[in-house]
């Protein structure tokens, strides 16, 4: 005997999560855990076979409620909660050494969840180096700091082959000695002070997560992050980073001056004998698992469309580019910017305990993703227009697309 199915899996229009819907809810509005409400089509339920006992035997796991209790896979829910708890624990640990700078800490952790690299830009004394070393202290990862100088050579960071003699046989052979890049977290301090040759050696490590010495390729540890700092004021004896390398950084984070209250606390703690003791919150295996969790976070089509529209609007030669972009921008962002916007939006959603990315998440990370991917024109520089000014005006101009019909 055939009849209509009593329950059916229906995806949420906003986040894509499969909801278990009872037949009695056909034609009614239901709510997903993500907060989105939508109407169940009356003709959605399919035919199924009833057993002799009159009960529909399907492949649904036992213990599920008959309506929308199963809004997400239990494992996914647990992972999202693990990310949120890890973020809270990291913030608590870093608050011992970093006063204020909450947005900077959040963006740095978002980049780590996205397998992205970070460029920290700020004047001296704003705890950029302390922030990176603090993150290393709150993570059970190998960490090394490289002070970039004009005489730094590529082999100084990648490693080199050294001729060594075997004492037993007397034979001599080359043996590779690893450089400071062979760790999980690398602090490239004052990265713009190194010559282009050294920056090029770092480029392969950032993009491919490996280094090539001679004809041999050496794979770097996983996870691998580069957190670089640079001083935007003192430019004597520096080598501006090429656009190709800037594009490899997920975020360019501007570290601002502290507020009066935060600066008071900084002075008070720095002039006392208090020594913070950071406890590791996550290890390498856990970070790799959290990175996979972020990739599983759904982003609706209208969120991806919004990220694409933002990136395309930065290109002055695009027919849809606004007039101020044609006047102020010489070169816009490439496709890697759109990928970074969506990935960072997913990570931010998870950090805040949500199961899907939104256009608000994209807006929140737009400055850090786009500011180092735009090249301004002479007109903009002469008028004192900064890249952040261009991006803020762009966010006002490009509106998020409407959701699909039936969504609220």
Q: Are 42 and 26 in contact (CB under 8 A)?
A: yes
CA distances from 385 to 54, 120, 317, 324 (A): 72, 21, 20, 11
Q: Mind spelling out the 3-state secondary structure of 167-223?
A: CCCCCEEEEEEECCCCCCEEEEECHHHCCHHHHHHHHHHHHHCEEEECCEEEECCCC
Q: Are residues 207 and 263 in the same domain?
A: yes
CB atoms within 10 A of CB 164: 12
Same domain flag for 153 and 100: yes
End residue of a domain, out of 51, 72, 93: 72
Same domain, 271 and 335: no
pLDDT at 51: 38
User: Are 245 and 144 members of one domain?
Assistant: yes
15 and 152 inside one domain: no
83 and 63 belong to one structural domain: no
242 shares a domain with 112: yes
3-state secondary structure of 251: strand
Please give the torsion angle defined by the CA atoms of residues 177, 179, 182 and 186, in that order, rounded to the nearest 10 degrees: 170
Query: Can you give the pLDDT at residue 69?
Result: 30
Residue with structure tokens 């809270």? 88
Over its length of 408 residues, how does the chain's per-residue pLDDT go in tens digits?
A: 444 445 666 666 665 566 667 666 776 777 766 656 666 766 555 443 333 343 333 433 333 333 323 334 456 677 778 778 888 888 888 888 888 888 888 899 899 999 999 999 988 888 888 888 888 888 888 899 999 988 889 889 998 888 887 777 778 888 888 889 999 999 999 888 888 888 888 888 898 898 888 778 889 998 999 999 988 776 666 777 888 888 899 999 998 888 899 889 888 888 888 777 788 888 888 888 888 888 888 899 999 999 999 999 999 998 888 999 999 999 999 999 999 999 999 999 988 888 889 999 999 999 999 999 999 999 999 999 999 999 999 999 999 987 654 444
Say yes or no: 32 and 160 in one domain.
no
pLDDT of residue 231: 82
d(CA 358, CA 121): 27
Domain-ending residue, one of 258, 273, 293: 293
Whether 310 and 265 share a structural domain: no
CA 188, CA 198: separation in Å to the nearest integer? 11
Residues 20 and 160 in one domain: no
CA distance 229 to 189: 5
162 strand-pairing partners: 175
One domain for residues 64 and 131: no
Instruction: For residues 93 and 80, give the distance between their C-alpha atoms in angstroms, rounded to a whole number.
Output: 20
**Cα dihedral sign for 332, 102, 224, 183?**
positive
List Cβ neighbours of 208 (8 Å cut-off, separation of 6 or more): none
Pairing of strands 329-331, 375-376: antiparallel
| Residues 6+ away with beta carbon under 8 Å from 246 | 119, 252, 372, 373
> What integer pLDDT is reported at residue 312 of this predicted model?
95
- Residue ending a domain, among 72, 93, 125, is 72
Q: Could you tell me which residues are beta bridge partners of residue 252? A: 119
Residue 243 tokens, joined: 């656009």
pLDDT at 46: 46
Are residues 163 and 99 part of one domain?
Answer: yes
Cβ neighbour number for residue 284 with a 10 Å cutoff: 16
Q: What is the CATH number of the domain that holds 125?
A: 3.40.50.300
Task: Name the phi and psi angles at 18, rounded to 5.
Answer: -75, 125
Count of C-beta atoms within a 10 Å radius of residue 129: 17
Element at 375 (helix H, strand E) = strand 375-376
Range of the domain at 345: 297-408
Q: How many structural domains does the chain have?
A: 3
pLDDT computed for residue 45 by the predictor? 52
Residue partners of 235: CB distance under 8 A and separation at least 6: none
Distance CA 308, CA 2 (A): 46
User: Strands, E, within 12-109: which ranges?
Assistant: 18-22, 29-31, 37-39, 47-49
Radius of gyration of the chain from Cα atoms? 26
Which value, to the nearest 10 degrees, does the dihedral of the CA atoms of residues 82, 88, 89, 91 take? 140
Least Cα distance to 400 among 297, 313, 280, 276 occurs for 313
Quote the pTM value.
0.76
For residue 338, the domain's CATH number is 1.10.8.80
């Amino acid at each position: 005997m055939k009849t209509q199915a009593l329950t059916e899996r229906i995806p949420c229009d906003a986040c894509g999560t499969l909801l278990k819907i009872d037949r009695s809810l056909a034609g009614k509005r239901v709510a997903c855990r993500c907060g989105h409400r939508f109407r169940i089509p009356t003709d959605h339920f399919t035919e199924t076979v009833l057993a002799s006992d009159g009960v529909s035997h399907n492949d649904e796991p036992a213990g599920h409620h008959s309506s929308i209790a199963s809004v997400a896979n239990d494992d996914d829910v647990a992972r999202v909660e693990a990310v949120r708890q890890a973020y809270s624990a990291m913030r608590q640990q870093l608050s011992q050494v970093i006063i204020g700078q909450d947005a900077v800490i959040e963006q740095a952790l978002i980049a780590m969840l996205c397998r992205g690299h970070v460029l920290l830009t700020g004047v001296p004394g704003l705890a950029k180096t302390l922030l990176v070393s603090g993150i290393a202290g709150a993570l059970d990862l190998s960490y090394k700091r490289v002070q970039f100088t004009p005489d730094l050579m590529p082999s100084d960071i990648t490693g080199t082959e050294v001729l060594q003699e075997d004492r037993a046989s007397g034979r001599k052979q080359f043996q590779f000695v690893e450089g400071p890049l062979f760790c999980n977290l690398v602090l490239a301090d004052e990265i713009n002070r190194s010559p282009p040759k050294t920056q090029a050696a770092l480029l392969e490590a950032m993009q491919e997560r490996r280094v090539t010495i001679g004809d041999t390729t050496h794979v770097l540890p996983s996870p691998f992050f580069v957190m670089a700092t640079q001083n935007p004021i003192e430019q004597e004896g520096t080598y501006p980073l090429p656009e190709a390398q800037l594009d490899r950084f997920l975020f360019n984070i501007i570290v601002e001056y502290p507020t009066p209250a935060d600066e008071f606390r900084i002075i008070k703690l720095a002039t006392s004998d208090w020594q913070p003791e950071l406890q590791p919150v996550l290890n390498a295996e856990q970070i790799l698992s959290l990175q996979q969790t972020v990739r599983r976070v759904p982003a609706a089509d209208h969120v991806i469309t919004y990220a694409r529209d933002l990136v395309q609007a930065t290109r002055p030669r695009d027919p849809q580019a606004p007039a101020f972009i044609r006047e102020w921008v010489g070169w816009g962002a490439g496709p890697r910017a759109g990928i970074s916007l969506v990935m960072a939006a997913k990570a931010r959603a998870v950090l805040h305990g949500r199961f899907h990315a939104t256009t608000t998440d994209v807006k929140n990370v737009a400055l850090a993703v786009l500011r180092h991917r735009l090249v301004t024109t002479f007109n903009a520089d002469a008028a004192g227009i900064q890249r952040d000014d261009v991006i803020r005006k762009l966010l006002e101009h490009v509106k998020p697309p409407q959701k699909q019909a039936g969504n609220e």
